[in-house]
Amino acid sequence: MALPAGDDSTISARRANVIKARDSMRGRVSSKGDTPASNGNVANIVTVVRILLVPVFVWLLFLDNHENGVWRYVAAALFILAIATDGVDGKLARGRNLVTNVGIILDPIADKLLIGGALVSLSILGDLPWWVTIVILVRELGITVFRFVVIKKRVIPASRGGKLKTVFQSIAISLFLVPLYSLFSAISQGVLWFDWIIMAVALVLTVYTGIEYLVQAWRVSRQTPQAPSA
């Protein structure tokens, strides 16, 4: 019995998607070159590993149950390892010409999941006020969504303080994850003050670079010629 036309087209579309996905995995995995790179290249693998580390890190953090024991330090070490590899996948992709559309999409997702997972976890545990987490996440998610919306129409120059913002966010979160104040009880207040100073700098840079990016987008939109109306 012949399949309905609708079912036949659906099967054909699925088969085409399978073939496309299979073909995307062909190509260079780690070697340099000018031929197409595989979506399963080493840079993308590093990015995927970073994403997979997020639930493990969060689970270990809550496993500690706010006792500042060994699991807390293991969770902190895992976060530091995952966030430190942020530059590794990008360096591999650019240095070996392994840049792919999949990698371009996955890299910022990995960053947001790591930062977001750490901030939300710290707020749930009561170690970080919720307003700090909300301000940072609104900026990060908002700019990410905005970037994907406008990227097809125009390229927005990267914020000059973007990398610095990420560095301070990573350091601040790491300091809040590692309970150094419990190790240095004699100067615990000084340690906490230092942690908050770094977090304050990260917060200011987060808001500033977000505003700077929107201003850049507005300037570019004014310079881009508008298509005549029909």
Residue 6 included in any domain: no
Range(s) of the domain holding residue 68: 29-223
Residue 20 included in any domain: no
Q: How far is CA 225 from CA 148, 177, 230, in A?
A: 20, 48, 15
> What is the predicted pLDDT for the residue at 207?
93
The DSSP symbol for 126 reads: T
> What is the predicted pLDDT for the residue at 184?
67
Residue 17 included in any domain: no
Residues in a beta bridge with 37: 28
Residue 14 included in any domain: no
Domain containing residue 34: CATH number: 1.20.120.1760
Residue 47 included in any domain: yes
The Cα–Cα gap between 25 and 155 comes to: 28
Residue 70 included in any domain: yes
> What is the predicted pLDDT for the residue at 60?
94
Residue 135 included in any domain: yes
Residue 112 included in any domain: yes
Two structure tokens written together for 148: 């994907």
| pLDDT < 50 stretches in the chain | 13, 16-23, 226-230
> What is the predicted pLDDT for the residue at 18?
41
> What is the predicted pLDDT for the residue at 227?
41
What is the count of structural domains for the chain? 1
Contact 183, 76 (CB under 8 A): no
> What is the predicted pLDDT for the residue at 142?
87
Place of tokens 């942690």: 195
> What is the predicted pLDDT for the residue at 197?
95
The Cα–Cα gap between 199 and 173 comes to: 8
